[in-house]
Amino acid sequence: MSKYITAYYSDEEDLLKGIGQIKADGLKIMDVLTPFPVHGLDKALSIPRSRLTRVAFWGGAVGATLGFGFQAWVFTIDYPLNIGGKPFFAVPSFMPVAFELTVLFSAFAMVIAFFLSNKLGPGAKPVIHDERATDDRFLVVVEVEENSPEERISQIEQALAKAGAEGITLKA
């Protein structure tokens, strides 16, 4: 178990400034919780660009191959049927379904990967540091070990106060 020290901000610009200060002080930020996506936060926390786009691409590639291949297999190998004098291998006819499956696979692969990588999903039990984090407060959470000495904690609290935090709480 560890303890969490949370600094509160009520404006995203103060938050960004504060984060810069906290990082300059050499503290390790565990997490930042915000009610909406704050621009510039990715950079401030050096979060790398998400690789979910690649999942989307490969999902789409699988969907396209499967969609087109399946139709082609059905109509040329498994059960060729003359329909309205169309050729068995009717490429233009296969396009709509192939396209739809591309989009379907791409979207679902990406969204599933999103939930898995964030460990989000039905029944997930998150640690809610403060309920105002989804309302109007911006939270910076710093983790400290359970048995850290008092001085260490107050040192961190002072650093956070120096970084413009409007409120600081300690939670086990």
113 and 55 Cβ atoms separated by less than 8 Å: yes
5 and 148 Cβ atoms separated by less than 8 Å: no
Q: In the complex, what is the shortest distance from the CB of residue 10 to other proteins, in angstroms, rounded to a whole number?
A: 8
User: Which lies closer to other proteins via its Cβ, residue 107 or residue 153?
Assistant: 107
Number of neighbours of residue 131 by Cβ within 10 angstroms: 8
User: Which lies closer to other proteins via its Cβ, residue 64 or residue 155?
Assistant: 64
What is the distance of C-alpha 172 from the center of its chain? 26
Q: In the complex, what is the shortest distance from the CB of residue 165 to other proteins, in angstroms, rounded to a whole number?
A: 16
User: Which lies closer to other proteins via its Cβ, residue 1 or residue 127?
Assistant: 127
| DSSP-derived secondary structure for 105-161 | HHHHHHHHHHHHHHT--TT-----S-GGGGTT-EEEEEEEETT--HHHHHHHHHHHH
Q: In the complex, what is the shortest distance from the CB of residue 154 to other proteins, in angstroms, rounded to a whole number?
A: 26
User: Which lies closer to other proteins via its Cβ, residue 26 or residue 85?
Assistant: 85
Q: In the complex, what is the shortest distance from the CB of residue 24 to other proteins, in angstroms, rounded to a whole number?
A: 18
